[in-house]
Amino acid sequence: MMAWLLFCLLSDSKDTMKKALLLLMVLLLTTSLVACNTVSPPKNMSPEKTIEYYFKQFNNRNAAAMQSVSVEELGNMQSTFRTLVYVKVIYCKEESDSTIVRKYFSKEWYPGASDIALVHVAYEICTLDGFVLDTEIRGGDYYLVKDNSNDYWRIVAHGIA
């Protein structure tokens, strides 16, 4: 493709040159959009801080930042964000008993994990659907993984406690 682009730019034909310039502009625009949409989480966060960061970004309606600390694809969050009034972490505590952490973790979730953590979380979520304001307390266990000691924690699984 690069050879074709170079050929078109060096060509004498104005139409071919216009097409090549248009293609080049589209490639540059796409590359810049992808680069701008990439978010890196803050460094050296503990598993608890990672969960708090995730929910803070949820409250800020920042799907790219949420995705940066999640292994699974979050998909389109716009419908969720549209009804969200707020979300607030009430309780966030890392499990200190490594036997419990390893007992329920499945290597199938993330085979390359060099380290795993389990965080117990409770949060309040408030949504507005039409004229109905709904507030509820939810909770669950969040498993986080690290690829190596220099990597950051990422959420790999969560469920209802």
Predicted TM-score (pTM) of the model is 0.72
Rounded to whole angstroms, the Cα distance separating 89 from 74 reads 19
Rounded to whole angstroms, the Cα distance separating 66 from 138 reads 18
| pLDDT of 139 higher than 80 | yes
pLDDT tens for residues 51-74?
A: 999 999 999 999 999 999 998 888
Residue 142's nearest CA partner among 84, 81, 95 is 95
Residue 23's nearest CA partner among 38, 41, 46, 5 is 5
What's the order of all strands across the beta sheet hosting 84-94?
84-94, 115-129, 132-146, 154-160
pLDDT tens for residues 21-59?
A: 555 455 544 444 444 556 888 888 999 999 999 999 999
Among the residue ranges 31-35, 40-44, 96-100, 113-117, the one predicted with the least confidence is 31-35
